[in-house]
Amino acid sequence: MDEIQRVPILAVQNLSRRFPGVLALDNVSFDILAGEVHALVGENGAGKSTLIGILAGVYQPSAGQVLLDQKPALFPDPLSSQRAGISVIFQEFSLLPHLSVAENVFISREPRRGLTVDWATMNRQTQEILRTLNVEIDPATLVSELAVGQQQLVEIARALSAKTRIIVMDEPTAALNEREAVRLLEIVRSLAAGGVSVLYVSHRLEEVFSIADRITVLRDGRHIVTEGRSAITEQRVVSAMVGRELVHSTRPSRTAGAIVLETKDVTVDGGLVRNVSFSLRRGEVLGLAGLMGSGCSELMEGLYGLREITAGSFLIEDRPVRIANPRSAILTGVGLVPEDRKRQSVFPDLSVAHNLTIGNLPRWFRAFPGLLDLAGERRKTLDYKRQLNIRFTRPEQRISGLSGGNQQKVILARALAGNCRLLLLAEPTRGIDVGAKAEIYALIDRLVQKGIAVILQTSELPELIRLADRCIVFVAGEPRGELCGAEITQEAVMSLATGLSHRVTVDSASLRSIQ
């Protein structure tokens, strides 16, 4: 890095922002250099969104200032921030779906000829910008026809067309699939190489470590540390984020008991997943891993009766069972924590208690299953609150007010309340803070120790290694190999999953591509 690049293009100094009852930002100072990818990390509530809001002109600082080119700058509204050369790409895109790519890129800045829009120029210039991003999208395509990843590229193109010098990206890969995410990281690197500064806000540490020049950690609205990537370890970033050293970073030794589940040559949905045979014991965690489309999710859905098991046999505690739908799964003692919390598990309008008990409602009288025991429900909810350390104020509170981690604990409690012997966990910590993640791991450990058998499907290799005693790797719908205990390493899983027998280098990008 030469001297010119060392000049901060944007700096925040002693920035504070107070909302009624909360100090969302507390005396935060750091700077962003020209052509730098600067990662901003922190748990939910750390103040990232507020900081982004100030840079975007949505909020005004209560104290402190923003320096642009070392001169104080004020952004009373979003437009002035954009005029100053800052583009913020929020998680929820601001594209207009029924307009074309070019129209979106040039919205409110359309090149004109006389009174009319100069379509030819607009399309040509859009094409040029897209080409610098190495993207093949026809500028005349409607945005609604694009995949999420492509839409994000259109957002970036719009930022570039506005001669942006600083792009702020809020959790840019949250909605992307693996390939799109890898692509995005490449583009971020090339943007930085071209002199644009990027403030990359994320809690995906692998990504952050693969892309950032420097990393800034916020916690509880305060600035904790800003360090060059090579000068800080992932462990230190994590403890800066959560404010303590996270314990339990390794899998405890476990003793497995009697066999709970045995499958022989199971086929799901006429061949989506084939020839699956395994057995699972009490007190054991079996991991399922594979690239996207390898069949792990489909197998999980088959085990829970959401997909048809078209061939093979299925024994639970030595008795053959047929699981035709989720109801029969629950009745045979199988519990599920679904992959997509928002779409598949949470009831946003219902209370914490109602969310917790919905799978197994407490009866008032044994004889009348239709009548509910509301006092019992409340008691049960408070029981689980204590057991799982779920943070909420009252059982009647709506679940949508809880953090992602606490919502997930409620969902876990729901599965447990069904007295399951076999617990299926699909992406149990997706979108959850590191702190809550560690708690959920500890929780899973405790459940397993009590004798529950767990099948874990996860796309995060560290999670797999941390939790699974054994792991089956799937390729294209078939089990490719099984790894045990210490054999489960990122390299071993990756080489099985990608079909390479030789050792592969696992960089963070391909890490994400593990299903």
The pair phi, psi for residue 67, each rounded to 5°, is -110, 125
- Residue 444 and residue 461: Cα distance in Å, rounded? 17
Q: Smallest gap, in angstroms, from Cβ of residue 329 to other proteins?
A: 8
Q: Contact, 423 vs 453, CB < 8 A? A: yes
Query: Which amino acid is residue 141, in one-letter code?
Result: T
Examine residue 397 and tell whether it contacts other proteins (CB under 8 A): yes
And the tokens for 91?
């998680």
Report, in Å, the least distance between residue 386 CB and other proteins. Answer: 19
**Nearest distance from residue 418's CB to other proteins, in Å?**
8
Cα distances (angstroms) measured from residue 38 to each of 11, 15, 229, 231: 12, 18, 10, 14
DSSP string, 452-511: -EEEEE-S-HHHHHHH-SEEEEEETTEEEEEEEGGG--HHHHHHHHTT--S-----HHHH
Nearest to 222 by CA among 19, 26, 41: 26
* Backbone φ, ψ for residue 35 (5° rounding): 70, 20
With a CB cutoff of 8 Å and minimum separation 6, the contacts of 379 are: none
Query: How many C-beta atoms surround the C-beta of residue 30 within 10 A?
Result: 21
Q: Which of 16, 49, 216, 408 binds other proteins (CB under 8 A)?
A: 49
x/- map, 296-335, other proteins, by CB under 8 A: --------x-x------------------xxx-xxx----
Binding mask 354-393 for other proteins (x = CB under 8 A): x---xx-x--x----xxxx-x-----------------xx
Nearest residue to 64 (alpha-carbon basis) of 13, 30, 19: 13
Least separation, in Å, of the C-beta of 337 and other proteins? 10
Count the site residues for other proteins by CB under 8 A. 49
Q: Is 453 within 8 Å of 422 (Cβ atoms)?
A: yes
b/e per residue, 31-58, with b = 16+ CB within 10 A?
A: bbbbbbbbbbbbbebbbbbbbbbbbbbb
Binding span for other proteins by CB under 8 A among 116-124, 397-405, 432-440, 487-495: 397-405
- Report if residue 59 touches other proteins, rule: CB under 8 A: yes
Neighbour count for residue 255 (Cβ, 10 Å): 9
Q: Which is nearer to other proteins, 113 or 394 (CB)?
A: 394
Handedness of CA 284, 504, 434, 20 (dihedral sign): negative
CB of 378 to other proteins, least distance (A): 13
Question: Per-residue contact track with other proteins, 148 to 177, x per CB under 8 A?
Answer: ------------------------------
- Decide if residue 396 touches other proteins (CB under 8 A): yes
Decide whether 232 or 420 has the Cβ nearer to other proteins: 420
Q: Does 215 bind other proteins (CB under 8 A)?
A: no
Among 2, 3, 4, 21, binds other proteins (CB under 8 A): 21
Span of 42-50, 182-190, 233-241, 247-255 interacting with other proteins by CB under 8 A? 42-50
Measured distance CA(59)–CA(371) in Å, rounded: 50
Smaller CB distance to other proteins: residue 173 or 351?
A: 351
Nearer to other proteins (CB atom), residue 46 or residue 154: 46
Residues 6 or more apart in contact with residue 253 via CB below 8 angstroms: none
Contact flags string 219-238 toward other proteins, x per CB under 8 A:
--------------------
Residues 492, 300: contact at Cβ < 8 Å?
Answer: no
- For residue 468 the two structure tokens come to 């699974």
Parallel/antiparallel/unpaired status of strands 453-457 and 285-290: parallel
Residue 199 CB-half CA count within 13 A:
32
The site map against other proteins for 329-358 (x = CB under 8 A) is: xxx----x-x----xxxxxxxxx--x---x
Of residues 50 and 457, the one with the C-beta less far from other proteins: 50
* Residue at token pair 């890095």: 1
Among 174-182, 276-284, 314-322, 394-402, which window interacts with other proteins (CB under 8 A)? 394-402
Stretch that binds other proteins, among 49-57, 76-84, 145-153, 200-208 (CB under 8 A): 49-57
Residue 350 C-beta: closest distance to other proteins, Å: 6
398 counts as binding other proteins under rule CB under 8 A: yes
CB of 401 to other proteins, least distance (A): 6
Q: Write out the two tokens for 183.
A: 């692509």
CA nearest neighbour of 170 among 184, 157, 150: 184
Complex with other proteins: residue 17 or 165, whichever CB lies closer: 17
Identified binder of other proteins from the candidate list 1, 6, 19, 228, rule CB under 8 A: 19
Query: Between residues 230 and 393, which has the closer beta carbon with respect to other proteins?
Result: 393
Residue 222 DSSP symbol:
E
Which residues would be at the binding site for other proteins (CB under 8 A)? 19-22, 24, 44-45, 49-50, 53, 59, 304, 306, 325-327, 329-331, 336, 338, 343-351, 354, 358-359, 361, 364, 369-372, 374, 392-394, 396-398, 400-401, 414
